[in-house]
Amino acid sequence: MTTPGLPLRIGDLGPSVRDLHRRLAAVVGDDLGDLDVFDAATTESVKQFQKDRGIIVDGICGPQTWAALVEADHHLGDRMLYLRSPMSRGDDVMQLQQQLGALGFDAGWVDGIFGPDTERALRDFQRNQGLTPDGVLGLDTVRCLANLRGRVAGSKTVAEVREAEVLRNRPGVIAGRRLVLGEAGGLPAVVDSLARRLKVDGAQVLALHHPDLAVQAKAANEWDGDVFIGMTLANEDLSIAYFATEGFQSAGGHALATRCASGLGGVLDCDLPASGLRLPILRGTRMPAVWCRLGPPPLVVENAAAIVATVRNALTDWCADPLLQG
C-alpha cells in the first residue's frame, strides 16, 4: 500500500484526501461530504479519531495518524498473522494479544505488533488446544479463540500481572536502577542535567537525544532499562502520557505519570493530566514509560531547574512504591 503525500491538512485536495475520508468513514462513521476536499468537517473527524486512538490530537493527518488508520482496518480473522519482517501491525494483532494474555499465554505488551513474544504465545495456545503449533493465526485458531472469548472478559493479561510482580520485587531505592531519559529536540540541557542528578543518586542512566523516537525505543530496550522518561516541548495537548489501550495498561507507567503530572503541573502552573495513550514511543518501549509534553516553551526554559528537581523526586517516590496511583 502506498502512503499518501503526508501530512494532509485543511485545504488539501485530491485522491489522497478521498482515501483518508474512506478510512475515516469506516472507523469514525462520519459523513464527510465532498470526498476530495480536506475541510473543517475532515479536521473534526481526524481529531475525533486521534482522541479515540490515544495519539496527539491536532486535526492533521501525519504519518502517525495515517499508520493508526491503516491499523484500524484490520480485525481479528480478516488476514493470516505470523512472524514476518517487517512485523505485522494492526488492531487484529492487538485483539490477539489481549485474548492470549487474558487466557494465560504471555504475548507481551498489547501493542498491536506481532513480534516474537506474540508468536511464542500463539504457539503455546495452539499446542494447548490440540492445533498444529505453527505460530500462524489461521481460521482454526481464530475459531478456538472465539469459542473461549467469553471466559476472558475483564481479565488482566499475563503482561500486566508480570509487570506488577517485577516492580514489586525490585528494591525500593533509586540507587542501582537503570533509568532511560529521552528527548527529541528542545530539551537536551534538561535531560542532561537530570541525568547528572540521578547518577549522583547512584542510578545507571542512559540519556538519548534523537529526533526518531523509534530509535530511542530500540536503544532503551537493548539497554534493558527499568523505566523510560521522555520529554518534549509543546504549545498544546500538554500531558504526561503512559501506555494504555483497550483492555491493557502499564500500571508502572500510570503510577509514574501521576506523580510527574502532579509535580510538573504545579511547576508550570497548568493542568497537566496523566493520560493513557498509544503513542509509538510508549508502545515501543518494553518497560514502564512516560512521555511528557511540557509547555509553553518559554515557561519550561525558565523553570528548567525546578523541572529537573520535580522529575527526580517523582522517580525517587516511584522507586519506593512503583504501583501507587497517586
Q: Could you tell me which of 149, 28, 144 has the C-alpha nearest to residue 95?
A: 149
DSSP 8-state symbol, 110: -
- Say yes or no: do domains 15-72 and 91-163 share a fold: yes
The 10s digit of each residue's pLDDT in 164-215 is 999 999 999 999 999 999 999 899 999 999 999 999 999 999 999 999 999 9
CATH node for 170-320: 3.40.630.40
Cβ neighbourhood burial of 168 (10 Å; 0-12, 13-18, 19+): exposed
pTM score? 0.87
pLDDT in tens, 57-114: 999 999 999 999 999 999 999 999 999 999 999 999 999 999 999 899 999 889 999 9
pLDDT of residue 152: 55
- We find that the CATH architecture of domain 15-72 is Orthogonal Bundle (1.10)
* pLDDT for 2 beyond 50: no
Give the phi and the psi of residue 205 in degrees, each rounded to 5: -130, 135
Rounded to the nearest integer, the mean pLDDT of the chain is 92
Alpha carbon of residue 272 to chain centroid: 18
- Rounded CA-CA distance 300/297 in Å is 5
Residue 18, number of CB atoms within 10 A of its CB: 17
Q: Domain extents for the chain?
A: 15-72, 91-163, 170-320
Q: What CATH code is assigned to 91-163?
A: 1.10.101.10
Amino acid 247: pLDDT = 79
Q: CA-to-CA distance for 128 and 136, rounded, in angstroms?
A: 15
